Amino acid sequence: MLIGLKPLVELGVLDAADLEPLRDLPCDYVNFDRLIPAKQALLEKAAENLRGRLHGGLRNGYEEFLSLHGDEWLNDYALFRVLKSLHGERPWTGWDKAFVRREPASLRQIENRHRESIERVRIIQFLFFRQWQELRAAARQKGICLFGDMPIYIALDSADAWSHREMLLIDQDGCPSQVAGVPPDYFSEDGQLWGNPIYDWDYHERTGYQWWIERMKHATSLNDLVRIDHFRGFESFWSVPFGAETARKGEWIAGPGEKLFVALEKSLGSLPLVAEDLGVITPAVDKLRQDHGMPGMVVLQFEVGDPEFELASIGKNSVCYTGTHDNDTTLGWFLGTGADTRTRKEITAMQKSALEKTGGSANSIHLDLIRLAFSSKASLAVAPMQDFLGLGSEARLNIPGTTLNNWRWRVEQEQLDAGLVESVNVLVSGGSRSRGKSLNSPA
């Protein structure tokens, strides 16, 4: 879904008229139900057109892509996608048993019968990687860092789980014994039941953490900096019995800890990683992060409501956020208008403390929190576009533990005006004006 279609028109594998049906899609949010089938059909068409036109530099680029990624992940992924399509997009645990258990004769039969479909999947992946590397080169020329995000867990219904089930606590039919989540927290009174299969860490240790080495190598080849989501799960993770209705009845189990990161550094050297160390963090988690030089995270929405918080407590080896993709926008958080687990009394107390810490007003809280983040000693400060635009809960990106209406918000072209550019420049440079509103001097 990240592949740009206009470049495919320029490449000559789609016509401009092919893109016309997409003009009916909404501009201010993503309608995945309509977008996915429409775009998938266009990508299939582009891949089929390109399949017969691979020559010269394009052919060389494609062959290099196959050489780099084919045996590592691409061939299994392409076969997985085709089998999923043949089974009506059902999870692989519901496929015919021969395919669930990867019987060699059955897989060879699919490879022979559906060679062209498998090739189209490979080509679509090639188109993405080709565009991404062009984007990364352009970003580098402008001094822009691409900051990626790597979840700790993988989905059960994924090519990795299907092709490498030995690395997970699942049986030969894909049924897990335990699943991942977190106990009750800020976001949910019942905890978060993610449902991802849990790693068999003994297996990973026996294999020298090779799968993790390849995964990290891949992530850092795409991004200049990578945030590891749920870092604390490497020290200890919340394990919930499969079939439980909530995450309440789980238990903490020791993770791989030091062994994993020693293996990664031995193979790949120093890594450009940021540890997502939010939530219940123990001294052991802090030590693991610090021993390997990884910055941690500070989210001001979690901090400024505490009367004891001091901006000076944010160290250089950290990344300071106003809020993350899992938080409400700063305006929504301040007003308490979204999916909020706080009481009105707690929200009122937070508002009082936040205004004292920023020295600003309720009308400018989103800008004041950005200013606070960029005036901290953190080596990197991050603010979501929604905060620069002063948007409320209607623009929230994700609500953890839920599956509906997430990841749909889009910035519109007209919002990226000269006033926004000016406000960004003023805020990150510690100035005192933003979009005509008065801001206090940096703390």
Distance CA 395, CA 438 (A): 24
Contact call for residues 260 and 212 (beta carbons, < 8 A): yes
Query: Is the C-alpha dihedral spanning 288, 292, 294, 300 positive or negative?
Result: positive
Where in the sequence numbering do the catalytic residues fall?
Answer: 229, 276, 326
Distance CA 124, CA 45 (A): 10
Distance CA 442, CA 439 (A): 9
Residues 6+ apart with CB under 8 A from 399: 187, 326, 338, 339, 406
Distance CA 74, CA 71 (A): 7
> Half-sphere exposure of residue 418, counting CA atoms within 13 Å on the CB side?
0
Concatenate the DSSP letters of all residues of 278-328 into one string: -SS--HHHHHHHHHTT--EEEEHHHHTTSTT--GGGS-SSEEEES--TTSP
Distance CA 68, CA 46 (A): 22
Contact call for residues 386 and 365 (beta carbons, < 8 A): no
> Half-sphere exposure of residue 40, counting CA atoms within 13 Å on the CB side?
10
